[in-house]
Chains A and B, each alone.
Chain A
Amino acid sequence: MKDRKPVVPGWFTTDGEFRLLGTKCTACGTVFFPRQETFCRNPACAGGDFAEVRLSARGTVWSYTNAGYRPPAPYVSDPDAEWEPFTIVAVRLAEEGMIVLGQAEPGVTVDDLTVGAEMEVVPGVLYETDEQVFTTWRFKPTGAAA
């Protein structure tokens, strides 16, 4: 069995309930994703201490699109395989008041989405090498009405 490795370490949980991981400034409470660990980017805050936080499991669609053409490196894809467009979703996490981009689960197309629809974050695989499986996050419609 291949070793499983997050595409970027520390951005999501790797066991238990799947969640994106961010950091929270202990001084002003601003949440950051990708994680911010050395200085707070709130101009009114001089904070420099951060706690890891699990981001909301759900959010709503801010917008969506797809990749009709193969993206250039450093995106990893098999240049010999026929190009299969994937869907990209921008999801607004209500609790954090931030929008996070992610690929949709395979099989979810732009026709399945609409602004305002509810989504949940789920684990996924971005690509594999001979030795390793690189894991990532995906967004999946919950089926809740927009």
Chain B
Amino acid sequence: MNDVVVLGAGMHPWGKWGRGFVEYGVKAARDALADAGLDWRDIQFLAGADTIRNGYPGFVAGATFAQALGWTGARVSSSYAACASGSQALANARAHILAGLADVALVVGADAAPKGFFAPVGGDRPDDPDWVRFHVLGATNPTYFGLYARRRIDLYGATVEDFARVKVKNARNGLHNPNARYRKAFTVEQVAASPVVADPLRLMDICATSDGAAAIVLCSAEFAARHTTRPVRVAAVSTVTPTFPSATVELPDIATDSSVAVAPPDLSFRASLAHAAYEEAGIGPEDLSLAEVYDLSTALESDWIEDLAICGRGEAEKLLRDGATEITGRIPVNASGGLASFGEAVPAQAIAQVCELAWQLRGQAGARQVPDAKVGITANQGLFGHGSSVIVTR
């Protein structure tokens, strides 16, 4: 049995609060501890997800949160993996528990994000692919989302109205989430009237940057047996890299690997993240009750639905048009409201996805509750070959 249990979940609401990431993280951590019915001094291992834009403290997030909560001599780790930082921290905590090195762990991710486009750190650095794509091409993150979106239009007949429908759906779900930054409904017309950021995507197709935090208390099955009668379990944490040669344009690279010497793998990077999670959990896409996927752009949600093998290539828009991805549909996607409603708080978001699954599987999601949710999957992708997929079951 490779399961560990999510004993508690907590968040600091997403938004632009103008305070430091430590404050957000402490709030989320205390909420998760309260949810678990534990005291911080019960925690044996703290896994922090790093932020890179707050200087020195962000690089050592684990110890920063431990100091803020009060030094206890707990073991600690810090993980940086861009948007997958939170799930790498989760993977770290899970591995410690499965190895018998700890019975109970706290995972925390928090950020105070800058306004506007993410940009690389300063200096003249032609060896850094992140610097290169900005300096040589002016390629921001939405550039990549635009490339993926345009391919959906040209290859599969997706439309900008389809993309807008994702925003409309996720905004409607987010109305019912007290932790979401935006709690406002939108229409397809409103999305279409917003300015183009990266053709064919408009401002309201692309997620904002936000402050926010999320935390999880994770424990062994034995520890959980003493603290809960309705455990939700982490059945898989996939943090695999791409396989050479990676043949899809990926952030932040300006070229893919060449396939002259080795044929490209059958699965793209995004699909391989989900595939590894399914293999580890011993389930398939037909077993899912819901999915929380990284809707950095509206069109990207459709890519993820296909990468999770919920439908075939080019079929995600049909699911959307049929209402299958609504909370009341066959396979609800981003019942939380997704990044469309939250915005990005990079090290927190992968943890926030798991919080949502925990609340959904416990039946605590209120007006956004997916009926009888039993199995949920998350998926996200960050820079530099980072990404993750987590499966939670009850």
Contacts and interface: CB of A to CB of B under 8 A. Distances in A.
Chains A and B come from one and the same complex:
yes
A121 B116 CA distance: 32
B99 interface: no
Given A67-B198, A101-B254, A101-B255, A73 B261 contact: no
A76 B119 CA distance: 13
Interface residues of A, number: 49
Contacts of A25: 261
Interface in A35-78: 41-45, 62-69, 71-77
A34 B125 CA distance: 14
Contacts of A115: 150-151, 154-155
A31 B126 contact: no
A69 B124 CA distance: 23
A125 interface: no
Contacts of A96: 258, 260
Nearest to A31: B258
B247 to A, nearest CB: 8
A30 B262 CA distance: 8
A72 B245 CA distance: 30
B260 A29 contact: yes
A63 B249 contact: yes
A7 interface: yes
A30 B147 contact: no
A88 B150 contact: no
B120 interface: yes
Contacts of A69: 117, 140, 197
Contact of B261 (A34, A42, A101): A42
B136 A67 contact: no
A110 B150 CA distance: 10
Given A72-B117, A103-B137, A103-B138, A65 B150 contact: yes
Contact of B147 (A29, A65, A114): A65
A31 B260 CA distance: 7
Given A65-B143, A65-B199, A68-B197, A102 B137 contact: yes
Given A25-B261, A65-B146, A67-B140, A99 B256 contact: yes
A31 B197 CA distance: 33
Contacts of B129: 34
B135 interface: yes
A55 to B, nearest CB: 10
B228 interface: no
B152 to A, nearest CB: 9
Interface of A: 7-8, 25, 28-34, 41-45, 62-69, 71-77, 85-86, 88, 90, 95-103, 110, 114-116, 126, 136
Given A33-B258, A90-B249, A114-B154, 16 more contacts: A28-B261, A34-B255, A42-B244, A42-B245, A42-B262, A63-B151, A63-B249, A65-B147, A65-B200, A68-B196, A97-B260, A102-B137, A103-B138, A115-B150, A126-B136, A136-B136
11 contacts: A8-B126, A30-B258, A65-B200, A66-B146, A66-B199, A69-B197, A71-B139, A73-B134, A97-B264, A101-B137, A110-B199
